[in-house]
Amino acid sequence: MEENKVQEAPEKKLNFLEEIIEEDLASGKHKSIMTRFPPEPNGYLHIGHAKSICLNFGLAKKYGGKTNLRFDDTNPVKEDTEYVDSIKNDIKWLGFEWVNEFYASDYFDQLYEWAEELIKKGLAYVDDQTQEEIRIGRGSVSQPGKESPYRNRSVEENLQLFREMRDGKYADGEKVLRAKIDMAHPNMLFRDPLMYRIIHAEHHRTGNKWCIYPMYDYAHGECDSIEHITHSICTLEFDVHRPLYDWFIEKLGIFQSHQYEFARLNLTYTVMSKRKMLELVRNNYVDGWDDPRMPTICGLRRRGYTPESIRMFAEKVGVAKRDNIIDLSLLEWCLRDDLNRRANRYMAVLDPVKVIIDNWEDGKVEWFDAPMNPEDPDGPKRKVPFTKEAYIERADFMEDAPKKYFRLKPDGEVRFKYSYIVKCVSFKKDADGNVTEIHCTYDPTSKPGAGEWRSVKGTIHWVSSTESKKIKVNVFDRLFTEEQMGMLPEGVDYKDYLNPNSLEVRENCYAEPDLLKDNSGIAVQFERMGYFFFDPKSNGYNKATGLKDSFKL
């Protein structure tokens, strides 16, 4: 029933990063490899970051190298230790270990010294222009930029002004430090890029020590170099930054790290920018960063995703050199594949209708054995109680059933999974025509293991109404209604595509009693219904994903 087939990839060949690394190791360019994962602590990690984590840590692991965790904390205004902690937690949960925990801010002194060195070499200057003047002065793709009137300050003057910037003499935006490269360069990033800006704000690690902060392009390559990162892997949009990354390293004559770019992960029906996710959280469109509908790692974890399934997903997605959008259903497939193997099974009825077994003695309870996981038939068993009254899914009974309907119908027979065959003898309806009660008789000779096995076409799940436990279930749909969320036209608000029905809470569900004793720590399978993971926050079970061939709730 839990059929879950996907086309297996043909025999795996090396991805382009593995090819580069194997070449570098074979040629002796590097004796061992060093990678890094460089999150900015300005939000929670999402599935796109997971891809990058699996790649950076995975490559190092495969080739006997090491990986640093480096927080790219160069913007004190947006960053916070809350994010630092969540990021570390998420990486560990995904199953990876870093050899060093570093912060770009650890290198502020070194970066500052190097900036002075570049000034002394005549390769950097202090500019007094406003942000707007600088922007206009840059020119455009078709037009060269204009040199700043402050560009030809003497080394002494630049040194003095830069030190005064550091010492807090100027207000935010009053001055910047720029690299002196070429205002007519075809790569706009080379038109005297900013190296430092003034921000009078408390930093979550360096406090008030600094009021000047390095820009990404100036800091990133140097941080990589300090840590002797051999392969600095980032997403495609940074390919135009690579020459600048190399320029700073070359001018300083320090260890040459190399940057390589791969396509960022995009998923259908999903937004993944931290800015947008922060907006969803702040405006209560979702229940926090770990809302089970969010593509964050903590959201996926709360939903019932396993680290194994996310790593499998990253592996299946592979490493592309061109942007593409991956189907969300691949992620779900990976989860099902993992849970099908490992999840304990229980029966739970999510839309109950009562069944009364007329020929069963009042108060009698009979216990049936059921495997915890049919993938492991000799493994542990659970006990399922059969009593006079039961619940079945409303959708498993049909009054005017077509011929091919093999679940319960008037005069029809079904097997209550793991127990007896029952036959519907009558039913009651309320004034609105809803079925309220179904009467059945059971066939005592149909007991599993007793005598000859009689088979009937339909088997349904059920729970005893008196021995079962009442549970709450949270059923999710996609957070957005549009498949191509990453391709919305200009000017369209992504929030217009929020799915108003992405959460359905079902208070009135019943599960077999052993469910409450489950201590597997992962999601369980409600037979025929899908995989569900207990969520202490809502005191309910989150539907992680369905079973492929199950009927819709």
* Interacting residue ranges for ligand ATP, rule: CB under 6 A: 38-40, 48-49, 51-52, 72, 234-235, 264-265, 272-274
**DSSP character string of 129-171:** --HHHHHHHT--SSS-----TTTT--HHHHHHHHHHHHTT-S-
Q: Do residues 531 and 473 lie in contact, with contact meaning Cβ atoms separated by under 8 Å?
A: no
Please choose which of ligand ATP, Mg ion, none residue 352 contacts, taking the beta carbon within 5 to 8 angstroms, the exact cut-off set by kind: none
| C-alpha distance from residue 134 to each of 161, 164, 180, 194, 214 (Å) | 18, 21, 13, 10, 17
The one-letter amino acid code at 79 reads E
Q: Active-site residue among 264, 302, 345, 415? A: 264
E strand residue ranges, 300-378: 324-326, 345-346, 348-349, 352-357, 366-371
User: Residue 148 Cβ, how far from Mg ion at the closest point, in Å?
Assistant: 27
User: Residue 318 Cβ, how far from ligand ATP at the closest point, in Å?
Assistant: 12
- Give CA–CA dist 403/410, Å, rounded: 12
Give which of 253, 48, 25, 214 is closest to 115, Cα–Cα.
Answer: 214
In a 13 Å sphere around the CA of 63, the CA atoms on its Cβ side amount to 27
265 beta partners: 324
Residue 170 or 238 having the CB closest to Mg ion: 238
Residue 264 or 478 having the CB closest to ligand ATP: 264
**DSSP character string of 518-534:** ---SS-EEETTTEEEEE
User: Residue 40 Cβ, how far from Mg ion at the closest point, in Å?
Assistant: 5
Give which of 329, 343, 314 is closest to 95, Cα–Cα.
Answer: 314
Q: Active-site residue among 40, 117, 133, 315? A: 40
Biggest CA pair distance of the chain: 102
Strand, helix or coil at 481? coil
Give which of 240, 196, 237 is closest to 219, Cα–Cα.
Answer: 196
Q: Active-site residue among 274, 302, 345, 409? A: 274
Binding mask 2-41 for Mg ion (x = CB under 5 A): --------------------------------------x-
Please choose which of Mg ion, ligand ATP, none residue 351 contacts, taking the beta carbon within 5 to 8 angstroms, the exact cut-off set by kind: none
User: Residue 62 Cβ, how far from ligand ATP at the closest point, in Å?
Assistant: 18
Residue 51 or 388 having the CB closest to ligand ATP: 51
Residue 54 or 234 having the CB closest to Mg ion: 234
Please choose which of ligand ATP, Mg ion, none residue 52 contacts, taking the beta carbon within 5 to 8 angstroms, the exact cut-off set by kind: ligand ATP
Give which of 134, 116, 103 is closest to 37, Cα–Cα.
Answer: 103
274 is catalytic: yes
User: Residue 286 Cβ, how far from ligand ATP at the closest point, in Å?
Assistant: 16
Residue 221 or 412 having the CB closest to ligand ATP: 221
Chain residue at closest Cβ approach to Mg ion: 40
Please choose which of ligand ATP, Mg ion, none residue 89 contacts, taking the beta carbon within 5 to 8 angstroms, the exact cut-off set by kind: none
Residue 47 or 460 having the CB closest to Mg ion: 47
- Give CA–CA dist 333/315, Å, rounded: 13
Residue 234 or 334 having the CB closest to ligand ATP: 234
User: Residue 358 Cβ, how far from ligand ATP at the closest point, in Å?
Assistant: 59
242 is catalytic: no
40 is catalytic: yes
Chain residue at closest Cβ approach to ligand ATP: 48
Strand, helix or coil at 340? helix
User: Residue 470 Cβ, how far from ligand ATP at the closest point, in Å?
Assistant: 40
**Sites of contact with Mg ion (CB under 5 A):** 40
**Active-site amino acid positions:** 40, 264, 274
